Amino acid sequence: MPNWWKQGIVYQIYPRSFQDSSGDGIGDLPGIQERLDYLKWLGVDAIWISPMYPSPMADFGYDVADYTDVDPRFGTLEDAQRLIDAAHDYGLRVILDYVVNHSSNEHPWFLESRSSRDHPRRDWYFWKDPAPDGGPPTNWIDRFGGNSAWEWDEQTEQYYLHSYLPEQPDLNWGNPEVQEAMLNVLRFWMDRGVDGFRVDVAYRAKVAPQWRDNPPNTDWHEGMDPYKRLQETYTKNLPDAHLVGRLLRDVVDEYDDRVLIGEVTLQPERLVAYYGENNDEYHLPFNFNLIHSDWTAEAVRDQVDRYEQVLRSPRLSGEEWPNYVLGNHDVHRLASRIGPEQARVAQLLLLTLRGTPTLYYADELGMPNVDIPEEMVQDPWEINAPGLGLGRDPARTPMRWDDTEKVGFCPPDVEPWLPSGPEEAPTVSQQKDDAGSMLSLVRRLIELRRSSPALHSGSYQSLMAPEGVFAYERTGGGDAFIVFLNMTDKEQRCPLPPHVSKGSIALSTHLNRNDERVELNVDLAPNEGVLIAVDGA
Ligand code: GLC
């Protein structure tokens, strides 16, 4: 029997922005629970919830002050339990974010660690003496602004390492007590019914780093992300990360049917190492390569074919399951990156490729970036490296449920923590009953994917296609589909492959082509994608 997460579709919820039930302008867990109906209606299988743990919110929850509780802004531990149980009643799985590399500087572990050089928890984090010149031990820089990754502690006269903000000290996974405490966090949540974890920056976890300077990046120039000034030779994608991956997987395997997803931003050749040498690390190392690809048929096809080819490499077991992500809380909105018309084509792609799709909340509406006025900027990255387009607030704005003043996200007299966007931005209520809407398109695609063995589990083969069109075939379980994606703004005539003579259109990103018969060729409008059910497959 295939695992649920192979056939399933993951939906990412940024809890601050999904639904506010308490009236403070910040989303919360009971709010998510209120909206389970919608998720069920949409047809997704699992929700992944970005961190909802107690946090000073220096990085909006990715600075965790207690891994086994819920921040009061998001609710209580009881609310979490109610949400997990309610989701299960709806047949939805629940995946939590697990911040592996760092805690908050307000976590009791760190407060104790920093309290004195002799504290038994000193070694839970990375403390170092200054370099001989009195400066930081290495030239490493932090991710949100490119400042030193070492923070000086006046009281104990040592530096501590923080790969992200100074408020996010790196945990020392080389310490067996850290391992035990952190692994027990997984058990704590799985005992409460959680179905899996998305492991934050999985490829940065450190066990025994070499304290050596990173070499400069000679391609760096002003105007680029300051963090990119250095190469990351000694700070990420080290063997340590695999060791930690195996530790996590062992614990996840103590329980039935759970999933371990790793956040790993790498090209396919290096990414697949995170399945583990014996398929004993991440079930799904996140594949972000379509997010970073140029949006042309040729570039996207190359990415998909290359990934498929790497997955067939004899070095792998053959069991490794692909996955694709097109948006998340760290990058600009899909519809703003590639435009609203191609966003429809992109959803057709995401939901018909071989491998688990992850959908980012509100992308099913074609939600664009929301402009954030300077005085409302929240994201520390934008604050530390302003004006470079790195800020993540524009893609983290409230879910737009209806056309009331605060779009159904929070009470009308309350200001949401980020603006909910201009009046013309999409809402669920506008789109729900509009057959031509993005939401209807995504929902129909999910329905087709769920009901078709070829689409949820079949094989993938790319096909010859005119320039600017990406075409592929999905086959399996007595079912076959051909997908044509016109990634240009010109009309295109696409030949069916020689082994297929006829079919009918199961879905088009444009309206009113359902059940249209196709023989030999299919004509595509500009920016149109079609899914063709092959006759007699
Ligand atoms: C991951 C998260 C991002 C966070 C960072 C530090 O990349 O997705 O939102 O800021 O890790 O935890």
How far apart CA 440 and CA 389 sit, in angstroms, is 31
Which residue bears the tokens 């995401």?
350
The pLDDT of residue 301: 98
Please compute the mean of the pLDDT values over residues 170-182 and round it to a whole number: 98
The pLDDT of residue 536: 82
Please compute the mean of the pLDDT values over residues 124-144 and round it to a whole number: 97
Give the number of C-alpha atoms closer than 13 A to the C-alpha of residue 103, restricted to the C-beta side.
Answer: 24
The per-residue b/e assignment along 506-533, b for 16 or more CB within 10 angstroms, e otherwise, is bbbbbeebeeeebeeebebbebbbbbbb
Q: Is 59 in the pocket of ligand 1 (CB under 6 A)?
A: yes
Q: Is 330 in the pocket of ligand 1 (CB under 6 A)?
A: yes
Beta strand spans in 264-393 (E): 284-285, 323-325, 356-360
pLDDT in tens, 500-531: 989 999 999 998 898 899 999 999 999 999 99
Nearest ligand 1 atom to alpha carbon 392: 9
Among the listed residues 178, 14, 163, 180, the one whose alpha carbon sits nearest the alpha carbon of residue 102: 163
Options 3.40.190.170, 3.10.290.10, 3.20.20.80, 3.40.630.10; CATH for 4-101+176-208+241-441 is 3.20.20.80
The per-residue b/e assignment along 466-495, b for 16 or more CB within 10 angstroms, e otherwise, is bebbbbbbbbbeebbbbbbbbbbeeebebe
**Domain 108-161 carries which CATH code?**
3.90.400.10
Partners of residue 95 on adjacent β-strands: 48, 196
Q: One of 142, 167, 200, 479 is an active-site residue; which one? A: 200
- Tell me if 338 sits within 8 A of 295, measured CB to CB: yes
The pLDDT of residue 289: 98
Tokens read off for 234 = 């000694």
Strands 10-13 and 356-360: parallel
Tokens read off for 502 = 């006829």
Tokens read off for 503 = 């079919």
The pLDDT of residue 514: 87
Q: Is 360 in the pocket of ligand 1 (CB under 6 A)?
A: no
Q: Is 63 in the pocket of ligand 1 (CB under 6 A)?
A: no
Please compute the mean of the pLDDT values over residues 304-327 and round it to a whole number: 96
Strands 502-508 and 517-519: antiparallel
Count CB atoms within 10 A of the CB of residue 250: 12
Ligand 1, atom 7, residue with closest C-alpha: 201
Residue 99: enclosing H or E segment and its boundaries?
strand 93-99
Cα angle 325, 331, 335; round to 5? 75
Sequence-ordered list of residues with C-beta below 8 angstroms from that of 373, at least 6 positions apart, any chain:
419
* Residue 2 confidence (pLDDT) above 80: no
Sequence-ordered list of residues with C-beta below 8 angstroms from that of 479, at least 6 positions apart, any chain:
452, 453, 454, 455, 458, 537
Q: How confident is the model at residue 189 (pLDDT cuts 50, 70, 90)?
A: very high
The pLDDT of residue 501: 85
Q: Is 200 one of the annotated active-site residues of the chain?
A: yes
pLDDT in tens, 368-383: 999 999 999 999 999 9
* Residue 145 confidence (pLDDT) above 80: yes
Q: Give rounded-to-5 percent helix, strand, coil for the chain.
A: 30, 20, 50
Tokens read off for 125 = 């984090």
Nearest ligand 1 atom to alpha carbon 328: 8
Q: Is 62 in the pocket of ligand 1 (CB under 6 A)?
A: yes
Count CB atoms within 10 A of the CB of residue 500: 20
The pLDDT of residue 190: 98
Count CB atoms within 10 A of the CB of residue 315: 8
Q: How confident is the model at residue 1 (pLDDT cuts 50, 70, 90)?
A: very low
CA–CA distance from 169 to each of 57, 149, 179 (Å)?
A: 14, 9, 16
pLDDT in tens, 61-78: 999 999 999 999 999 999
With 0.95 as the threshold, say if the pTM is over it: yes
Nearest ligand 1 atom to alpha carbon 62: 12
Partners of residue 503 on adjacent β-strands: 518, 534
Q: Is 507 in the pocket of ligand 1 (CB under 6 A)?
A: no
Task: Quote the percentage of the chain above a pLDDT of 90.
Answer: 98
Nearest ligand 1 atom to alpha carbon 164: 6
Nearest ligand 1 atom to alpha carbon 63: 12
Q: How far is CA 156 from the centre of its chain?
A: 38
Tokens read off for 486 = 């016109």
Where does residue 72 rank: exposed (0-12), middle (13-18), buried (19+ CB within 10 A)?
Answer: exposed
Q: Is 254 one of the annotated active-site residues of the chain?
A: yes
Q: Is 98 in the pocket of ligand 1 (CB under 6 A)?
A: no
How far apart CA 196 and CA 190 sit, in angstroms, is 8
**In angstroms, what is the span from residue 201 Cα to ligand 1's centroid?**
7
**In angstroms, what is the span from residue 292 Cα to ligand 1's centroid?**
17
Count CB atoms within 10 A of the CB of residue 51: 26
How far apart CA 321 and CA 154 sit, in angstroms, is 49
Please compute the mean of the pLDDT values over residues 40-58 and round it to a whole number: 98
Pocket-testing residue among 16, 168, 201, ligand 1, by greatest number of atoms within 8 A of Cβ: 201
Instruction: List alpha helices for 312-399, DSSP H.
Output: 334-338, 340-350, 380-384
How far apart CA 422 and CA 404 sit, in angstroms, is 12
Count CB atoms within 10 A of the CB of residue 102: 28
pLDDT in tens, 192-207: 999 999 999 999 999 9
Among the listed residues 214, 238, 205, 208, the one whose alpha carbon sits nearest the alpha carbon of residue 140: 214
**In angstroms, what is the span from residue 359 Cα to ligand 1's centroid?**
17
pLDDT in tens, 261-297: 999 999 999 999 999 999 999 999 999 999 999 999 9
3-state secondary structure of 327: coil
Backbone dihedral angles phi then psi of residue 229, each to the nearest 5 degrees: -55, -30
pLDDT in tens, 427-476: 999 999 999 999 999 999 999 999 999 999 999 999 999 999 999 999 99
Q: Is 470 in the pocket of ligand 1 (CB under 6 A)?
A: no
Level-2 CATH architecture, domain 459-534 = Sandwich (2.60)
How far apart CA 123 and CA 207 sit, in angstroms, is 12
Q: Is 164 in the pocket of ligand 1 (CB under 6 A)?
A: yes
Q: One of 85, 180, 213, 254 is an active-site residue; which one? A: 254
Domain regions of the chain by residue span: 4-101+176-208+241-441, 108-161, 459-534
* Residue 418 confidence (pLDDT) above 90: yes
Cα dihedral 512, 502, 352, 474, rounded to 10, equals 170
Write the DSSP symbol of residue 80.
Answer: H
**In angstroms, what is the span from residue 50 Cα to ligand 1's centroid?**
10
Tokens read off for 357 = 């799709």
Task: Quote the percentage of the chain above a pLDDT of 70.
Answer: 100
Strands 356-360 and 459-463: unpaired
**In angstroms, what is the span from residue 103 Cα to ligand 1's centroid?**
12
Among the listed residues 222, 209, 238, the one whose alpha carbon sits nearest the alpha carbon of residue 149: 209
The pLDDT of residue 515: 85
**In angstroms, what is the span from residue 63 Cα to ligand 1's centroid?**
9
The pLDDT of residue 511: 83
Nearest ligand 1 atom to alpha carbon 329: 9
